[in-house]
Each structure stands twice: as C-alpha cells, then as structure tokens.
Chains A and B, each alone.
Chain A
Amino acid sequence: MGDAKVIPFDDDRDRSRGAAPAGQSRTGQRARRRGARTGQSAPLTTVPGQQGPGGPGEGDGPGKGGAGPSEAAEDRHGAEQRFGDADGAGSRGEGPASGGEDAAAEGALGGLVARLLGDDWEDRAARGLAFLRRRVTGEYEVDDFGYDRELTDQVLMSLLRPVFEKYFRVEVRGIENIPADGAALVVANHSGTLPLDGLMLQVAVHDHHPADRRLRLLGADLVFVLPLVNELARKAGHTLACAEDAQTLLGRGEVVGVMPEGFKGLGKPFADRYKLQRFGRGGFVSTALRTGAPIVPCSIVGAEEIYPMIGNSRTLARLFGFPYFPLTPTFPWLGPLGAVPLPTKWTIQFGEPLPTDDYPPEAADDPMLMFNLTDQVRETIQHTLYKLLVRRRSVFF
C-alpha cells in the first residue's frame, strides 16, 4: 500500500491554501502559503516576531517573511534579518546602515512593524541579549506543568522548524479546523518508532495556526522517566497522558494533542503501516466530553516510513526497559548514523471538529457512547489516511 500514483483528487475544501499547480516549484508554493498565512494573521498576531531571534528556517527563499504590505521594504528587512541570523549578535549594526536612503519608508514601515511585532523588529541582537538576560537571571515564567513558553517559541521551535520545513517538508492542511479560541482535543495517529510526529504536529500548530495557538501534547510515562527527555518535554509544554492533566489543560482552554494509539502505534512493524491500532480505552473521549472540548481528528502521513521497523528485539527492549527495540534496515547496524530518519514527505491533515458539548454531563460515563465516539474518530482518521495515501505521489516527494 502507500506509494500510490498521482490521482487527481479534487477536494478543494481540504486545500484551503497552497493549492499550487504541479509545475510550480515547492519553494514558491511554500512562500505563497506562508504569505497567505501571515497576511491573514498579521493584524491579529505577532507570529513572525515570536519566531524569535534564532529562526534559521526563516530565510528559506525569496518570498520569506510576507508580513508587511510593502514588498520592497520587506525584502530589505528580510535580508537584514538573515544577516542577523547568520552572524548572531555581531552584525546588528548593518541594519541601520543599509537603510540609509529609505529612511522615510523604513520609518513608516517601522511604525507599522513596531505596532505589529512590538519594537523589536530591527535589533534582533538586542532582543537576543534581552532574552539571554532573562534566561541567566531566571526572570521568566513557567506554568504549573513546567511549560516554558518563551523557550519553546524562541529556541525549541526554531530548532525543529528546519526539520519541519526542509527535511520532512510537511504540508499542513485544514489547520483552521482547530478553533481560534477555546479548548480543543487534537487526536492523531501515531507512528514512526520515535515520536517525531508529535513534535512535527506541535510545529504545525505553532507555525501555521492563524490564531497563534499552542499545542500541549500528552506523552507516555516513559517520556517523563527518561532524563533530559522529560526536562525538554515539560519545557515544551507536554505533560503526562492522564485524565487529570488533560482535563486541567482543556479546562484552561488549551489545545491538547493526544495520540491514543500510544506505543502500539509508534512501535508497529513496517508491514502494518497506516493501519490504525486500537485507541486505548477511549479515555480521551470521556475527557473531551467532561470539558465539552471539540475533538479534532488529525491524520499524519509520512511518519510511518522514517524508520521502517522490520524487526523488534524483545531482549534488548527488556534490557533497557523500553516497550520495543526497533530494528530498521539501518539501525542499529550503522550505529548513530542509522538513527537518522529517512527524509520522507509528510502531510498533516486536520479534519472537521467533532463537537462534544451537546451531550449531557453523564454521557462521559456511558461506555457505549464512548466506544461509538472513539470508533467514529478512529474511522475518520483512517479514511483520511487512505485518501492522503492515494493522493501521495511518492514517499519521498
């Protein structure tokens, strides 16, 4: 299954943006998408500004940073920004020097930009230093779950963005199905041996949602046992997949992401790719019902092939205390090199939200309804997976 030929699928509803002709280059397509997105969101949000001082994924083409209305001035700023990125703090002085003759235009734009992005558009170095200053003095905030929003937005997302944009070239569809405000539970399939799909999902919501939403993922307990992993997971806003935490987050109106297949989905053999596993006991449905949060089904295509798991060494898994120990064509034979994922082309499709607020409060304890809703969500994801697979040209492009 999987690698189907191109079959034109005219579901324009899904292609809300980026429906570029096949001949157009990918860069252009991406740039247009980005432009469309930031164009929509510009009056509302500070998305580009929050992408922080170290956004290396930003300077990816001629059409980058489509935030401002004035194209020429914007290009200059883009260049300036790239300098800032490349040289870090040292090259800050180049900004004002290069902008000499267009001081007026820049002033006008600066006013606009200052309004849109705060007053930290030009001197990213100063911003970086202010960031550093807050970090070294500990003057930043974390929430009850240890979510460090500043670190996530400015550092962790910047590190993941190149993987998202360049390596897996993730295409995000239907992001508007996540409501602009209020709680929502994103339910996605899980695959790929290592939970990179969760991280990419987080980048997708972070970078592409017009209302600047943040995804709070629910992780397996193994995540919070492992050193370093647990620290980063907590700082990135993940928490343990348990009813208490999920309910608290949904109660606060957050977008919560869950992958109910868990290790069954993550560690399934390559032969079973894109076959959804059992969705646990459907606990996510009762949590959504209790909080009245809509369930947004999400299908991720491409993650299955990053580490084709052809075998599972139970002995080694038991030895390390992992649920499985993957054997792929490259791992562990090539050592650390074998741990490099294959550069597959990904699609993340968010489906129509399933409302849960019209059920009576006691519905959350009705097992029949639980199973029905769980199956409904599961079927939706499975069907969307098949549709996306048929639409896919190849695994890698």
Chain B
Amino acid sequence: MGTRCRLAPHPGSGRDEVGKVVLVTGVARPLGGRFVRRLLREPGVSGVVGVDTRPPAHRLDGARFVQTDIRQPAIGKVLAEHAVDTVVHMDLHGTPLTPGGGGRGAVKETNVIGTMQLLGACQKAPSVSRLVIKSTTSVYGSAPRDPAVFDETTPVRSLPGGGFAKDAVEIEGYVRGFARRRPDVAVTVLRFAHILGPAAESPLAEYFSLPVLPTVLGYDPRLQFVHDDDVIEVLRLAAGEPRAGTLTAGTFNIAGDGVLLLSQCARRLGRPTVPMLMPAIRWGSGVLRSVGVTDFSAEQLRLLTHGRVVRTEHARDVLGFTPRRTTAQTLDAFARSRGSGLLPPGKVAHAVDRFAALLPGKPGRPAGEGAATRRERAEVRQDG
C-alpha cells in the first residue's frame, strides 16, 4: 500500500511537511462517512484514512479507505504505514453494522476487543499524538437514586449492568489506562447524548419510528438529544489543534441544550403512547425481540423509565463547544425526516383551534396564538 500521495486531497501539498493524517474508524456508517468528508475540508488535514470491516455504501471523496477489522492486529500496520497523527474512534455502536449482522455478541466484540486492539496499536505507534473516542452518556446509567443531572465527575451509583452502556464503561476504562501509559497523547472522550438526525441510526431513533410508542406506566423520563451536525462539529473540534483558551483533552458531555420529557417527545412527533406496566413491557419486548421487530434492550428500558440528563457546561467552558441545536430543535429535525405520525401535532392543534373558534366572543384569538406558535416553530426550523 505504498500509495501515500493518494491520501492528499490537494495533490499539490506535500503531506509530510504540513498537515496531519487522521484515521477514522467506523466509516461504513453514515455518520462516519459524513465526518470523513467534513475532515477533508479542514485546512490542517492532509489525509484521512477510513477504516471499517465493510466498504461503505457512501462516497468518502478523497479519503483512503482501508478494509480491515480493528479487532485484528493489522490495524497497527495501518497506523504505522500512514504515519497517523490523530485517531478518531467512532466504531462504538449499540447495533450491528448490517441488520441482523451477528447480534449482540459481535457488537460487543467490535466495541470492546476492537477498542483494546486499537489502543494497543496506538500505544505502539509513536506518530499518534491525539485520540478522540466517541462514547455515550449511558455510562452514567439511569437510576432513580442518582442525582438528576450528571456532570463528568459525578460518581455513578449504579453502573450499567449490560448492553452498550456496559461496553462504553469498559471502553472508557481502557482509554483511561491508555492515557496513563501514553501521557504525550491528548485523549478526548466525548460522551454523547442520544444522537438523532438523518444520518444517525440508534436504538432510540428506531424506537421513535414506531407508530405507537410503548412507555412505562407512571414514569416520564427526561431525555436529551444531540444532532448529527453537532456531533460532526465537536468531533472535528476535538480532532484538531485546540483553539486559544480551550483544551481538547479530557472528558466532555455533549448534549443539546434543554430537556424534553418522553411524553413531550411523543406529542411533538405525533405518536400516541401506550403506557404499559413494567412486567408487561418485559414480556412484550421479549416477544418482539424473538419476532425480530425491534430490539428493546434492558438498558433502553431503564432509560425509558428513569431518563438521564447531563450537564454540558464543561464542554462549553473548556472545549469551547456550544451545540448549534437544542434538544427540541434536534427532535424537530428528526420528526421532519421521519414523517408525521398518527397524531401530527399540527392536526391536533388545529382541532383545538377549531373548537376554540366555536366559542362566542374574541374569535380567532387562540388560533392567532397558534399561528404565532407555528411561526416560531417555522423560524426555529429555518435556523435549525
């Protein structure tokens, strides 16, 4: 693979003198692909190497794609061969790459063994000076006995017992070990809230796409979302040189401003909810899983019971990152991309307005208010 010059998006620039080479894992996923394309436009980046087990369906423009499995030691050779400076590890997922591709066991192996292998390779590669890990806020778990708002230093009282959250906890442990062994490498751990957006496929996005949302009776969890664009932006920020007055090394919570309750999300998405008793949900999710309709993991169930909110001040103050979209705007964008549900909020609101118009006196006031609200929303959509 002696074709280094092909890495350079601008053939004129000699990449050995200026610019960095960034290795990105998990580029076969839409989010990884988008991040690679964004990186190529960065001025300080001379080359991008994308790694995944399967060729991506989308284009990677000028990036070099290397089909390899990060669970194999071959990843070390890739690092050495391309003299990689920055590693962005995005291949941490709760769901398999291909639908039905290997199930939970394979996902866990890619997450945990893949990360271990990648960290081992990074440790052996002297050229690596920066490591960015895409983690998740589910490392905090969700339990009723935890504080309502987590920050990066909150001691977690009940660690996640399984699933992707447990993978993420273990991975972060390995990353901390790596940071101790290679203090010269700037390590950034970005804990993302639920990523929603056109490119994101996450269990929660899948859940919100159900026509009717089963919820846990007597619980209305608080949720936070972060938009694809903000994910790309903060990853780019973390992969680059820190700007003046900011620091990229460290652990940061990344979430859109504001909080939505699940009931609010359902209404905004126009999807009716079916509150169910906890035992019924456990049983029902087992049935659904065996039929293969949806994967309602225990971890997700806990989230939909107790919810989770993180504080994002640290990312704002230290990393210098402010998400462009709030939680509500992210959900709005997601709602538009998924189409309306059975009870579109516009129609429901219209029904209320019609009823209001039936009342004598001051006609149209609520409707006028409604129009104002709609206008506001439209504005939000435009700038969102």
Contact = CB atoms under 8 A, between A and B. Distances in A.
Are A and B associated in one complex? Answer: yes
Contacts of B349: 133, 136-137
B144 A230 contact: yes
Contacts of B240: none
Interface in A244-279: 244-245, 248
Interface in B211-236: 216-220, 222
Interface string A141-161: 111111010000000000000
Contacts of B264: 138, 140, 142
B348 interface: yes
A146 B366 contact: no
B345 interface: yes
A310 B230 CA distance: 59
B148 A146 contact: yes
Contacts of A138: 260, 263-268, 345
Nearest to A148: B261
A242 interface: yes
B95 to A, nearest CB: 27
B103 interface: no
Contacts of B258: 141
B353 interface: yes
B145 A240 contact: yes
B369 interface: yes
Contacts of B267: 135-138
B41 interface: no
Interface string A86-101: 0001001101100000
A135 B355 CA distance: 15
B308 to A, nearest CB: 11
Given A93-B361, A138-B266, A138-B268, A126 B222 contact: no
Interface residues of A, number: 43
B222 A234 contact: yes
Interface string A229-244: 1110011000110101
Interface of A: 89, 92-93, 95-96, 123, 125-126, 129-130, 132-146, 148, 221, 224-231, 234-235, 239-240, 242, 244-245, 248
Given A146-B259, A245-B148, 17 more contacts: A92-B360, A93-B360, A123-B359, A126-B365, A129-B356, A129-B366, A130-B356, A138-B265, A140-B264, A144-B149, A144-B311, A146-B261, A227-B218, A227-B278, A230-B144, A231-B219, A245-B147
19 contacts: A89-B359, A93-B360, A95-B361, A123-B359, A126-B356, A129-B366, A133-B349, A134-B373, A136-B352, A137-B349, A138-B268, A142-B259, A145-B148, A146-B220, A227-B217, A230-B144, A230-B219, A231-B218, A235-B220
Interface of B: 144-149, 154, 216-220, 222, 258-261, 263-268, 278, 306-307, 309, 311, 345, 348-349, 352-353, 355-356, 359-362, 365-366, 369-370, 373, 377
